[in-house]
Amino acid sequence: MKNIFVYFCFFLFCFIQNSWPDNFIINNIYINKPWIKFILSGQKVTSGYLEIINNSKSDDVLLSIESNFAKNNQIHSMNIQNDFMKMKHLKSGLLIKKKTKIFLKPGGFHLMFSDINEELKNKKYLYIRLNFKKNGSIEIPSK
Ligand SMILES: [Cu+2]
What spatial distance separates the first Cα and last Cα of the chain, rounded to whole Å? 39
pLDDT tens digits, residue range 37-79? 877 777 889 899 999 999 999 999 999 999 988 999 999 999 8
What is the share, in percent, of the chain residues with pLDDT greater than 70? 80
pLDDT tens digits, residue range 84-98? 889 999 999 999 999
Q: What is the pLDDT of residue 126?
A: 81
CATH number of residue 38's parent domain:
2.60.40.1890
Examine residue 41 and state whether it is found in any structural domain, yes or no. Answer: yes
Count of domains observed in the chain: 1
Examine residue 127 and state whether it is found in any structural domain, yes or no. Answer: yes
CA distance 57 to 69: 34
Q: Which domain holds residue 38?
A: 22-141
Buried b (16+ CB within 10 A) or exposed e, 41-65: eeeeebbbbbbbbbebeeebbbbbb
Examine residue 5 and state whether it is found in any structural domain, yes or no. Answer: no
30 pLDDT band, cuts 50/70/90, is very high
Find, among 51, 40, 58, the residue nearest to 109 by Cα.
Answer: 51
In this structure, which residues have their CB less than 5 angstroms from ion ligand 1? 76, 87, 112
Q: What is the pLDDT of residue 3?
A: 52
The CA 47 to ligand 1 mean position distance, Å, reads: 7
Q: Which region holds residue 81: left if phi is over 0, alpha if psi is between -120 and 50, else beta?
A: beta
The CA 123 to ligand 1 mean position distance, Å, reads: 23
Q: What is the pLDDT of residue 95?
A: 98
Examine residue 14 and state whether it is found in any structural domain, yes or no. Answer: no
The CA 115 to ligand 1 mean position distance, Å, reads: 13
Q: What is the pLDDT of residue 21?
A: 64
The CA 2 to ligand 1 mean position distance, Å, reads: 50
Examine residue 1 and state whether it is found in any structural domain, yes or no. Answer: no
Examine residue 83 and state whether it is found in any structural domain, yes or no. Answer: yes
CA distance 100 to 59: 9
Examine residue 124 and state whether it is found in any structural domain, yes or no. Answer: yes
